[in-house]
Structure 1
């Protein structure tokens, strides 16, 4: 099971990223553990300065914008 974290302070793009990740995982029939991190010190601990950011299995894979459906599929399928 993939552990995915969305880092962000609660902006619309952060919320939409969470929704999109859930939708893609559901469509692929893959179970994921999805967590939302809003605490700034925790976000900065990942070296992220622009959000939303996505962390998959403790590796930052995306930051600064909403990821595409194709990107999310590739993270979940790996």
Structure 2
């Protein structure tokens, strides 16, 4: 598997930053790599179908929204995605 396209949706708050850190930890634990980007534009966030931030989008799929999830939960979501 190549690098995953990972988007953190939100206004760049501390919760968004923590979600990125947790996602990086999850990727490292699984031996995966990701290209990270931050989406702060409200319309682009809404176009993803997201109504609450922070949100985690991997390869176009919304894996979580409205909360900071822990690395072990992210690992589980990545393995089933």
* TM-score (structure 2 length as normaliser): 0.82
Matched residues, number? 78
- The ranges of structure 1 where at least 4 consecutive aligned residues each deviate by more than 3 angstroms after the TM superposition are 75-78
* TM-score (structure 1 length as normaliser): 0.85
Q: Which residue of 2 aligns with 1:41?
A: 43
RMSD of equivalent CA atoms: 1.5
Give unpaired runs (5+ residues) of structure 1.
none
- Relative to 1, partners in 2 of residues 1:14 and 1:50: Cα closer, same or farther, differing over 3 Å? same
Q: Which residue of 2 aligns with 1:7?
A: 9
